């Protein structure tokens, strides 16, 4: 259990809807000082909504949102946070150097230009206008801008979307450095690998609810050993109809099945398809745990 003074931001019983579409349905959430927390969930799970609430861009329908114990819309809060938004733009005609200068002017104690350039590896791009940057370069610029105010708390909403592997790993290194220097980071991702690599703690959300929470190891333990692989003539739909089956996927000739109670499932499969063969039963990595928990076949969550 953490003491309240560790809490740097929290959502309490937050509901939020966009018209008739429910985005968050009773979320309780806490971000602790100094941690790197990954909000993990498939697209549409409610991650961006949570970030938007914490940034004061949205107001909750019901429930409470506080950052540093205050309303996130307060100026005092904004001076202490930085954010890299998934949906955001930037003046297309200003150069990288100009954007950095502009954003630094917003904060009372900004990071130096040198720190920002180094953090986002922008030294070669300083005189390039934003509209001439590639997707990855633009992401790095946004990362630099999120650090312009020397923030205590950093929000990174899908920070590595569109980055190549090399850039991604470099950004991970930067986030670790930020964490080591005592900053708190809230990261949203649907890359399990990213959450695994960076997060002290992972909060899994799906369909507007928190469905699991813990360190990467705790989550892995919760869902281990529950994968069945076999070659069967049974249709995936029929298998899905069975109790406790979370996911059915055809992979070439074989079928992969993820289930909570493997024994019951095996019993059914063998009864209904006597010709079933090539049977393997094994544990799953965090990757599988995530899929299992969210119950989705989300290809983007599958590492290549």
Interacting residues with other proteins (CB under 8 A): 4-5, 8, 55-57, 68-69, 75-76, 78-81, 83, 85, 87-95, 97-98, 101-103, 105-109, 112-115, 117-119, 121, 123, 126, 129, 142, 145, 148-149, 152, 166, 170, 173-174, 177, 181
Minimum distance between the CB of residue 131 and other proteins, rounded to whole angstroms?
Answer: 10
Minimum distance between the CB of residue 28 and other proteins, rounded to whole angstroms?
Answer: 18
Distances (CA, A) of 299 to 23, 249, 273, 296: 22, 11, 28, 9
Q: Distance between CA atoms of 136 and 166, rounded to whole angstroms?
A: 11
Residue entry with tokens 């540093």: 68
Nearer to other proteins, 146 or 288 (CB): 146
How many CB atoms are closer than 10 A to CB 18? 9
Nearer to other proteins, 110 or 216 (CB): 110
Nearer to other proteins, 180 or 275 (CB): 180
Minimum distance between the CB of residue 215 and other proteins, rounded to whole angstroms?
Answer: 24
Nearer to other proteins, 106 or 217 (CB): 106
Nearest to 258 by CA among 277, 276, 242, 270: 242
Minimum distance between the CB of residue 81 and other proteins, rounded to whole angstroms?
Answer: 7
Nearest to 56 by CA among 45, 68, 67, 46: 67
Residue entry with tokens 């030294």: 123
Nearest to 113 by CA among 125, 101, 105: 101
Nearer to other proteins, 89 or 252 (CB): 89
**Dihedral of the alpha carbons of 146, 148, 153, 154, in degrees to the nearest 10:** 20
Minimum distance between the CB of residue 84 and other proteins, rounded to whole angstroms?
Answer: 9
Instruction: Name the phi and psi angles at 241, rounded to 5.
Output: -70, -15
DSSP result, 250-303: EETTEEEEEESSHHHHHHHHHHH-TT-EEEEEE---HHHHHHHHHT---GGGS-
Nearer to other proteins, 22 or 129 (CB): 129
Minimum distance between the CB of residue 12 and other proteins, rounded to whole angstroms?
Answer: 14
């Amino acid at each position: 259990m953490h003491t309240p003074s560790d809490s740097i931001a929290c959502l309490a019983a937050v509901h939020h809807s966009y018209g008739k579409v429910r985005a968050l349905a009773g979320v309780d959430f806490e971000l602790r000082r100094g941690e790197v927390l990954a909000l993990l969930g498939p697209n549409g799970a409610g991650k961006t909504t949570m970030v938007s609430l914490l940034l004061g861009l949205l107001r909750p329908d019901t429930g409470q949102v506080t950052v540093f114990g205050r309303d996130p819309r307060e100026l005092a809060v904004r001076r202490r946070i930085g954010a890299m938004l998934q949906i955001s733009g930037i003046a297309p005609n200003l150069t990288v150097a100009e954007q950095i200068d502009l954003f630094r002017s917003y904060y009372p104690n900004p990071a130096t230009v040198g720190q920002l350039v180094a953090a986002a590896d922008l030294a070669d791009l300083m005189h390039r206008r934003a509209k001439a940057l590639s997707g990855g370069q633009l992401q790095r610029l946004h990362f630099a801008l999120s650090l312009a105010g020397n923030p205590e708390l950093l929000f990174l909403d899908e920070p590595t979307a569109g980055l190549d592997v090399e850039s991604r790993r470099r950004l991970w290194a930067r986030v670790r450095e930020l964490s080591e220097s005592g900053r708190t980071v809230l990261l949203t991702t649907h890359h399990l690998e990213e959450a695994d690599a960076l997060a002290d703690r992972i909060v899994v959300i799906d369909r507007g609810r928190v469905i699991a929470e813990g360190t990467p190891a705790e989550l892995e333990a919760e869902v281990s050993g529950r994968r069945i692989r076999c070659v069967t003539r049974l249709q995936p739909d029929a298998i899905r109809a069975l109790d406790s089956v979370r996911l059915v996927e055809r992979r070439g000739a074989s079928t992969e099945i993820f289930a909570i109670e493997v024994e019951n499932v095996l019993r059914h499969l063998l009864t209904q398809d006597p010709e079933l063969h090539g049977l393997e039963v094994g544990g799953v990595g965090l990757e599988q745990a995530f899929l299992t928990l969210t119950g989705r076949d989300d290809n983007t969550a599958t590492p290549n």
